Structure 1
Amino acid sequence: MQISNEGILVVLFVGLVAGWLAGKIVHGTGFGLIGDILVGIAGALLASLLFPKLGIRLGTGLVSEIVYSTVGAVILLVVVRMLRTRGRF
């Protein structure tokens, strides 16, 4: 599988937007530009595994990918925050 340069830019853009939105939703957990991109990409992976098993489908396109990634990143940030504070939310 080979991804074009444009594909890599789209993945990075979606990861950045999703990570930034998740950082705004879950206050106090921003990780900077690179960290937000990584959290957004990890959130996209989490959502792509979790949502189909739950039967959740939001549609297609860039906006739905950003929504998927944001929800996954929020879940990921909440888990990370709970582990950091040892259960104290």
Structure 2
Amino acid sequence: MDVSGVLSALVAGTAAGVLGRLFLPGHQHIGVLWTIVAGVAAALVGSLLAAVAGVGDGAGGDWLEFLAQVVLAALAVAGLDRWLRASL
């Protein structure tokens, strides 16, 4: 993966993390950095799942891939929030 691929993964992951966090009700007790980390991880896993399912390239598949990334980011943010609340 070259530099532009890493940068695009960071941008897509940040967007997925922020959108995933927006879809969760209430206040989350995690910071911006954890939101970005959750979003980047969700973007990687969502891309992998889309590639396995064969819906990542063209003909609207990119939207399905991004939707999977946002849903996974919301789950990751909720999981991190729950974990941080339990550890405090």
Same fold at TM > 0.5 = yes
Deviations 1:16-36 (A, max 9, x none): 10011111112422521x332
Partner of 1:42: 41
The one-letter amino acid of 2:2's match is S
Alpha-carbon distance in 2 for matches of 1:39, 1:85: 16
- Counting only pairs closer than 5 Å after superposition, residues 45-64 of structure 1 correspond to structure 2 as 45-48=44-47, 57=55, 60-61=61-62, 63-64=63-64
TM-score normalised over the length of structure 1: 0.63
Identity percentage of aligned residues: 24
TM-score normalised over the length of structure 2: 0.63
Structure 1 unaligned blocks of 5 or more: none
RMSD (Å) for aligned C-alpha atoms: 2.9
Alpha-carbon distance in 1 for matches of 2:3, 2:51: 28
Partner of 2:13: 15
Cα offset for 1:49? 6.1
Cα offset for 1:40? 0.5
Q: Number of residue pairs matched?
A: 80
Partner of 2:3: 5
Structure holding more helix per residue: 2
